[in-house]
Amino acid sequence: MIHLSIIVPVYNTAIDKLEQCFQSIKTFMDKNSSLNMECVIIDDGSKGKVSDWCREFSETKAGFRFYKKVNEGVSVARNMGISLSKGQYIIFVDSDDILVSFNELEQYLLDGKYDLIFSDLATDIQQKHMWKAFEGDSREIDFETVISRIVSDGTLNGPVCKIIRKNLLDQHHIEFDKTMITGEDLVFFIHILLQKPKMYYISQCTYIYKLDTNTSNSRLKNCSKVFIQNNVVAYKNMIQLINQFSSNQHKHTFEKRATEIYIKQLFNSLADLLEMGLLSQELKDYTVQLLLELDKQTVDLIQEQKLSKSNFQLTVLLNKWWLLLAVASRMRILYLKIKNSL
């Protein structure tokens, strides 16, 4: 019996980063030798020496399996990894990141009590900059705690730092949407949550994540309307989750926060397109129409906060103040440059 499958999609990753990633996985497997684990590497059509290097590494390391396929995108690669994995649980690792060993893994995998196990990540090898899944100690997690985190920031959105019971995915035919170019990780996560998994949080850093801000801008530039449509899909899934699991006490607050995230995404997407000289009249009209379709009660709650950033963004877009959008775009770029230089 294989307890855990580690799924790693690969596409043209630098070999030095691959070596660091795979060695971290091997160390992870060695330190948890009481568990039977495998690493499933899916090469999504890499060019040059990458495939050969991955194949050779897999052939010399116990528990590593290598598969090569034509390039179809990371979602298809992850789905292939899910279908080929043999573990009771699965975990995803990006090929330029690092998996960190942690203490409580054996206890919770062998027990089999939980369907979804969260942990923390860091954005630097020294673990000085942490993205904690939740505040506090290791514990069972309820749905409202998860929803509150989702609508607070994007920490939980990605596929990493989640150990998932594979049978839950198989039974409910849950996979990554290969038609999406953004938001697919969040939608995948929400589809898991909609099945009412039993959840646990391990308050330890288990992952070193390498930030990459270029990918999103490239997708927006090349497929701008699809990018915005994907934001719509993610938002509707968030609202579905909130409606299904939130108490009346928190429902409107969660809907407001989710809508504020949605408005911010639309605002920033149009600002970036304007900066690139790619904002068409069609996209302007389409975005305004999306905002006009928002729930009136939720919009009223946002507009009550006259000086809030969300109300400013909503007002600019609804009134089609494109010159002000351009000014806000330049200020945002300046802010990000200063922030990244610190």
How many Å separate Cα 181 from the centre of its chain?
A: 12
Q: What is the DSSP string of 101-153?
A: --TTHHHHHHH---SEEEEEEESSTT--SEE-SSSSSSEEE-HHHHHHHHTT-
d(CA 226, CA 219): 9
pLDDT at position 102: 83
pLDDT at position 147: 97
Coil/strand/helix, residue 282: helix
pLDDT at position 215: 62
339 vs 94, 334, 335, 342, CA distance in Å?
25, 9, 6, 6
Residue found by looking up tokens 């054996």 in the block = 106
243 vs 144, 249, 257, CA distance in Å?
11, 12, 13
Angle subtended at Cα 133 by Cα 130 and Cα 139, rounded to the nearest 5 degrees: 120
What separation, in Å, do the N-terminal and C-terminal C-alpha atoms of the chain show?
A: 48
d(CA 289, CA 69): 40
Instruction: Give the DSSP H/E element, type plus range, for residue 42.
Output: strand 37-44
Whole-structure pTM value: 0.94
d(CA 289, CA 320): 11
pLDDT at position 335: 77
Residue ranges in 8-103 assigned as alpha helix (H): 15-31, 50-60, 74-84
Question: What are the tens digits of pLDDT across the range 84-99?
Answer: 999 999 999 999 999 9
Question: What are the tens digits of pLDDT across the range 236-259?
Answer: 999 999 999 998 889 999 999 999
List the pLDDT tens digit at each of the 342 positions of the chain: 999 999 999 999 999 999 999 999 999 999 998 999 999 999 999 988 999 999 999 999 999 999 999 999 999 999 999 999 999 999 999 999 999 988 778 888 988 999 999 999 999 888 888 999 999 999 999 999 999 999 998 889 999 999 999 999 999 999 999 999 999 999 999 999 999 999 999 999 999 998 665 566 788 988 999 999 999 999 999 999 999 999 888 999 999 999 999 999 999 999 999 999 999 999 999 999 999 999 999 999 999 999 999 999 999 999 999 999 999 888 888 877 787 676
What is the identity of the amino acid at 211? L
Number of Cβ within 10 Å of residue 108's Cβ equals 16
| CA-closest candidate to residue 85, choices 1, 151, 29, 19 | 1
In the 8-state DSSP scheme, what is residue 89? E
Token output for 285: 């009209």
